[in-house]
Amino acid sequence: MDKLSQQKSGGGCTISKRIVEAYVGEYASGKSEVAVNRALELSRDGRKVNLVDLDIVEPCYTLRPIKKELESAGMTVLAWETRDTIGLGEAGNIIKPECRWALYREGDVILDIGYGVEGAKTLNLLEGVDETPEMQIFAVINVKRPMTSTVPEILDYIKELGPIDGLINNTHLGDETTPEVVEEGARMVTEVSKILGIPVVATTADQEVAKKIGQQDVMGNPVRPLTRFMPRTFW
């Protein structure tokens, strides 16, 4: 169980072992990478996991190339497959019907919500949100993204995203990422967390970098190591 769920059940707010998390954030902030890794982590713990690709602007590009691989790890992946999208045209921009009903599935649900603020509105299209009080919406932030590179910019951006339950510091510079880069993000995201009163759920980093940082970052946030899948996907 992660830190946040422990706090919640400890406080008696929501007694639910089911984990439902939606990952939102600035375009190219690393939502998919964080969501995929989270789904894998839960799956490895022997949980029943549904990973849902909810990018309605550019669907079928993100998870499609790694869908089979993720499924072989034991999870259910709700995303278009190449053969399903042939004939749909440019971006096949139609929500996969089963994604819309994903919250009614048994087991954990990890939602990868693509495409920034417009993507965050996708949550309105989901069925069963009201019946899923355990749903947590996490904003993924990379302070090396130019639109979210300062505390005031991040605050402005989060306001646009709508309700958020937790923050994820996913600060990186691709192959050039160092622990210092990640910790610069940790400081900024933690400051945002204090201002907004929204917890930092985790700092995420590539395995090598995560190893150097340790189990907690400089601000005391738990570190989630990431296996990088996205360089193998299209967008």
Partner 1 sequence: MSEKPITGEKRAFMTGNEVVAWAALAAGADIMYGYPITPQNEIMHYWTRQIPKYGRKFLQTEDELSAGFTTVGGVLAGLKAFTATAGPGNTLMQEPLSMAEMMRLPVVTVVQQRGGPSTATVIYSQQEVTLTTLGGNGEGMRVVYSPSNHQELFDYTIKSFNTAWKYRFPTFVLGDGYQAKMRESVTLYDPEEKGITFVTPERYVGKPGTPGVDRDPGHYRNTYNTEEELFEVLQQHFADFEKMAPEVIEYSQESVEDADVIIIGHGVVFRGVRDAVKELREEGLKVGYFRPITLRPFPAEQLKALATQGRKLLIAESAQGQLARLVKDAIYGATAEIVPMFRPGVGITTEQIVAKVKEVL
Sheet strand arrangement including 166-169: 76-78, 49-53, 108-112, 20-25, 135-141, 166-169, 200-206, 223-226
Residue 172 CB, nearest approach to partner 1 (Å): 7
DSSP assignment of 175-223 equals BT--HHHHHHHHHHHHHHHHHHT--EEEEEEEHHHHHHH-SB-TTSPBE
Q: Which is nearer to partner 1, 43 or 85 (CB)?
A: 85
For partner 1, the closer CB: 146 or 214: 146
Which three-class secondary structure state does DSSP give residue 227? coil
Helices (H) and strands (E) in the chain, counts: 9, 8
CB of 98 to partner 1, least distance (A): 25
DSSP string, 13-49: S------EEEEEESTTSSHHHHHHHHHHHHHHTT--E
CB-nearer residue toward partner 1: 89 or 163: 89
Closer to partner 1 at the Cβ: 91 or 151? 91
Closest CA to 111 of 72, 65, 147, 76: 76
Is the Cβ of residue 94 or residue 173 nearer to partner 1 in the bound state? 173
CA distance 44 to 150: 35
> Residue 168: what are its φ and ψ, rounded to 5°?
-120, 125
Q: Do 99 and 53 contact (CB within 8 A), yes or no?
A: yes
* Cβ-based nearer residue to partner 1, 73 or 151: 151
To partner 1, the closest distance from the beta carbon of 232 in angstroms equals 12
Contact residues toward partner 1 (CB under 8 A) are 27-28, 61, 89-91, 142, 144-147, 149, 172-176, 230, 234-235
Q: How far is the CB of 189 from partner 1 (least distance, A)?
A: 15
